[in-house]
């Protein structure tokens, strides 16, 4: 399988590579449009701030490349948020592939960012094949995608939000699959099997 991992100014690429290695899969980290377009599957990882990540994509024209992809694409964490319409983080216009907004967690009784284990439920996609409802996943985030018709898994942290989204060939998970133990590895494997 020809797997591209999009290279831009956002972290967690090494932990994604390590998770893929656990599954016996090698991906190529690249910002080359031709290689990304030619890949069978594309992973769009990210840790960082939405505004600077979006600027990095625009500098390399990757914003245009990603929007045109026809093969399965998996956005992870900030990668998922950038698939959305707009983020409150830095008042950032994102790729608008999935027309939902990304908001900041607010509330007196919660710690922001959400760091640690939580459960996902209401699973509605082949991405979650053989994943049990209420499985644990690992989160590190201050912003979340609104629940919408594109939600394929939910999570609750003072507000119910989209733990995962899908529109056409674009999938996104807010949590870190690469740090979510067996559940995360199975979700990555399911993505690779799409």
Which residue in 21, 34, 77, 86 is the catalytic one?
77
Pairwise CA distance, residues 152 & 173, whole Å = 9
Determine if the peptide bond prior to 113 is cis (ω within 30°): yes
Known active-site residue 77: yes
The DSSP string of 39-60 is -SEEEE---S-HHHHHHHHHHT
Q: Which stretches of 85-193 are DSSP H helices? A: 181-193
Which residue in 86, 155, 178, 182 is the catalytic one?
178
Picking from 145, 152, 143, 141, the residue whose alpha carbon sits closest to that of residue 179 is 141
Pairwise CA distance, residues 35 & 149, whole Å = 32
Collapsing DSSP to helix, strand or coil, 30 comes out as strand
Pairwise CA distance, residues 14 & 126, whole Å = 26
- 143 near 106, Cβ under 8 Å? no
Which residue in 68, 84, 176, 182 is the catalytic one?
176
Q: Which residues contact 134 (CB under 8 A, 6 or more apart)?
A: 119, 120, 121
Residues assigned a catalytic role? 77, 176, 178
């Amino acid at each position: 399988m020809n797997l591209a991992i999009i290279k831009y100014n956002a972290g967690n690429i090494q932990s994604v590579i390590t998770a893929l290695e656990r599954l016996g899969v090698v991906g190529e980290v690249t910002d080359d449009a031709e290689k990304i377009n030619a890949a069978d599957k594309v992973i769009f990882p990210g840790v960082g701030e939405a505004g600077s990540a979006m600027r990095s994509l625009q500098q390399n024209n990757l914003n245009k490349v990603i929007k045109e992809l026809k093969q399965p694409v998996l956005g992870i964490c900030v990668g998922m948020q950038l698939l959305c319409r707009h983020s409150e983080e830095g008042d950032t216009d994102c790729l608008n592939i999935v027309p939902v907004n990304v908001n900041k967690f607010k509330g007196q009784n919660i710690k922001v960012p959400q760091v640690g284990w939580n459960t996902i439920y209401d699973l509605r996609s082949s991405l979650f094949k053989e994943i049990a409802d209420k499985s644990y996943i690992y989160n590190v985030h201050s912003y979340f995608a609104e629940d919408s018709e594109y939600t394929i898994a939910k999570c609750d942290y003072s507000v119910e939000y989209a733990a995962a989204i899908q529109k056409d060939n674009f999938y996104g998970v807010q949590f870190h699959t690469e740090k979510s133990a067996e559940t995360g590895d199975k979700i990555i494997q399911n993505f690779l099997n799409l």
